[in-house]
Structure 1
């Protein structure tokens, strides 16, 4: 119970501070994506800096999060942080094959990158 309280307190403090610096975490990100950023920052630095990209396609917004190393899926999430698919990554590099067929061009914007070395 004590660990859960401490973890929640850390998340609240980081989210509060991150809202003060819009360059660190974009202000209009869904709460669940901000929580994923806090979780990434609470862990050790990955081999490859984690990136979060906003994808706008077919009048929907998705969030693409890179994995921490090679041969792992890079997941695409909806605005509720539900996994939609893995567009790429994995052993083949071609993802999980479960992504929807998008009908318009994907507009990709980098919204966050782990600043740690």
Structure 2
């Protein structure tokens, strides 16, 4: 075991020594040009400002059509509470021939909720101490169809 460890440490030392001798320098687009211009016509001059900009985040398009009143009330309740991690979201599915709403909740052993179109809780497909929900709809993930994001906490 000591021999193997000794060989590994020796190999690492050789690798580091030869890698450091190469004198690699990295130039980024934010470095000022060394000669005042850049060779070639297709390359823009470097700038002293950061040229990396993230694209604006696209707002998620939620299905707001025909949201039941009870669901609007749930959404307002979530917005009145502190933001959860992971964020709360509601997705509409078809399950056993009916429209249902699946609500994920925040962290740590909380049950997810599966609601009927009228707002009655059908079951808790996930969460709890086991992470498998309340076992009242164990086939939900296998048989759900027509996924459509209805709402995600925007905060």
Q: Same fold (TM over 0.5)?
A: yes
- 1:48 maps to which residue? 86
**1:61 CA displacement:** 0.6
Q: Tell me, in whole angstroms, the C-alpha distance in 2 between the residues paired with 1:41 and 1:81.
A: 18
- 1:90 maps to which residue? 128
The runs of 4+ residues in structure 1 deviating greater than 4 Å are none
Corresponding position: 1:57 with 2:95: yes
Q: Tell me, in whole angstroms, the C-alpha distance in 2 between the residues paired with 1:70 and 1:87.
A: 15
TM-score between both structures, scaled by the size of structure 2: 0.54
Q: Tell me, in whole angstroms, the C-alpha distance in 2 between the residues paired with 1:25 and 1:110.
A: 6
Corresponding position: 1:38 with 2:82: no
Does the 8 Å contact 1:25/1:34 carry over to 2?
A: no
Unaligned runs of 5+ in 2: 1-60
The farther-off stretch of 104-113 and 67-76 is 104-113
TM-score between both structures, scaled by the size of structure 1: 0.71
Matched length: 93
For the pair shown, which has the larger CA radius of gyration, 1 or 2?
Answer: 2
Deviations 1:53-76 (A, max 9, x none): 101123201111011212111010
Unaligned runs of 5+ in 1: 1-22
- 1:12 maps to which residue? none
Q: Tell me, in whole angstroms, the C-alpha distance in 1 between the residues paired with 2:77 and 2:110.
A: 18
SS of 1:47's equivalent?
coil
Instruction: Give the root-mean-square deviation of aligned CA atoms.
Output: 2.0
- Highest RCO, 1 vs 2 (Cα 8 Å, sep ≥ 6): 1
More strand by share: 1
Q: Tell me, in whole angstroms, the C-alpha distance in 2 between the residues paired with 1:101 and 1:79.
A: 19
